[in-house]
Amino acid sequence: MGKVELKDGVYWVGAVDWNVRDFHGYTTPRGTSYNAYLVVDEKVALVDTVKPHFAEDMLERISEIVNPKDVDYVISNHVEKDHSGSIKEVMRLAKNAKVVATERGKAGLTRYYKGNWPFITVKTGDRIKLGEKILEFIETPMLHWPDSMFTYVRKDRLLLPNDAFGQHIAASKRFDDEVENVMDEAAKYYANILMPFAPLILKKIQEIQTMELAIDMIGPRHGVIWRSEPEKIIEAYVKWSKGVAKQKALIIYDTMWGSTEMIAKAILKGIINEGVEAKLFRLRNSDQTEILKEILDAKAVLVGSPTLNNGMFPSVSGFLTYMKGLRPKGKIGAAFGSYGWGKGAVKAVKEELEKTGVKMLEADLEFQYVPDEDEIKRCIQFGKELTGKIREEVYP
């Protein structure tokens, strides 16, 4: 697969990573792509590069269009290595090129690559004229690193927002209308990468709307390019950033000898009997990346753990640490679990779950050894009452 023309004189020249399954801990069953874009006019700009070891793929694609030595500008929207990882190779060939980045981007690239390159540092509203095509830059600090920025090609109404609006998908096609289940991967990407920055996302989208940037295509750095209805992914980001949830509960737990699992399944029964959607995940058998995607539109998050050595089970603690960093919005939840002689897990889960931002409900769901019949009934009853609270807070 070679270059792909997005717009007259704008090309995709990135690389497809079919086999990556663990992207810094994010599971990527569908692989991913590193999207670099070449904008060709009187001057030539390369917008971002690709992950290390994929430089050849990119340079081959560029060579189908121009000689890589004729690149005038290398735009670095984001320092992270999957985007900047081939900048050295490009700069070695393109002897006259300048690197364009934010002030923090320049500092980051210098730390990473020690390159003594000519830099142009840009702020929001700065422009570089390539000919008829003009590149315009928008700083987006903490979307999702301090150095991040968006590049906008005004003539083509094309937004290149780096890691925003991405999805981890490897495909032989490049556009959203050519690939299945794109929105699901976009939701997973948002939940696992961008969720902590929800307030910034809402502000930035508002700012872009006031800048009156007409957008009819969005080229993110991973996955497919949004061309069919680019406003759909913007609307989805607004919805996710506002924490809009469905009538849906998640039960996430681990178990040693099955007692915590009995509690989890009894609560599940109580919820399902009332007709509310629920999903159950045993942590050691589940994909954390997928669970976070499910949390995105769930209203209730219940977490359970057996007591191990006076505390919570390690898989539960690892999960809560991950979830805490991602700061989900507007959830209600509770802790449950089991113990042998001394308690410990439920208290620890409760404290950690509260720190993730979840509003904790009153719950008395901690049982010794194996829950008996009455205790199982209490779990079912808890699930039933939970659906009332979910319905109170979320209207269909």
Partner 1 sequence: MKKWKCTVCEYIYNPELGDPDGGIEPGTPFEELPDDWVCPQCGVGKDLFEELD
Contact positions toward partner 1, by CB under 8 A? 104, 139, 141-142, 146, 196-197, 199-200
| Residue whose CB is less far from partner 1, 145 or 175 | 145
* Catalytic-role residue among 82, 147, 294, 352: 82
Look up 78 and say whether it is catalytic. yes
Q: Which of 146, 103, 151 is nearest to 125 (CA)?
A: 151
How far is Cα 221 from Cα 227, in angstroms, rounded to an integer?
Answer: 14
Residue type, 392: E
How far is Cα 27 from Cα 7, in angstroms, rounded to an integer?
Answer: 32
Look up 222 and say whether it is catalytic. yes
| Residue whose CB is less far from partner 1, 93 or 202 | 202
| Residue whose CB is less far from partner 1, 58 or 138 | 138
| Residue whose CB is less far from partner 1, 104 or 239 | 104
Look up 189 and say whether it is catalytic. yes
Look up 48 and say whether it is catalytic. no
Q: Which of 160, 161, 180 is nearest to 169 (CA)?
A: 180
Please report how close the Cβ of residue 148 comes to partner 1 at its closest, in angstroms. 9
Please report how close the Cβ of residue 344 comes to partner 1 at its closest, in angstroms. 28
* Catalytic-role residue among 57, 163, 176, 297: 163
* Catalytic-role residue among 57, 144, 176, 352: 144
Look up 80 and say whether it is catalytic. yes
| Residue whose CB is less far from partner 1, 131 or 199 | 199
How far is Cα 301 from Cα 249, in angstroms, rounded to an integer?
Answer: 6
Please report how close the Cβ of residue 327 comes to partner 1 at its closest, in angstroms. 10
Please report how close the Cβ of residue 222 comes to partner 1 at its closest, in angstroms. 22
Please report how close the Cβ of residue 104 comes to partner 1 at its closest, in angstroms. 6
Tokens of 198: 């929800």
* Catalytic-role residue among 48, 57, 80, 176: 80
| Residue whose CB is less far from partner 1, 112 or 175 | 112
Look up 83 and say whether it is catalytic. no
Please report how close the Cβ of residue 237 comes to partner 1 at its closest, in angstroms. 17
Please report how close the Cβ of residue 202 comes to partner 1 at its closest, in angstroms. 12
* Catalytic-role residue among 24, 212, 362, 395: 24
| Residue whose CB is less far from partner 1, 4 or 142 | 142
* Catalytic-role residue among 189, 190, 253, 339: 189
* Catalytic-role residue among 222, 294, 297, 352: 222
Residues annotated as part of the active site = 24, 78, 80, 82, 144, 163, 189, 222
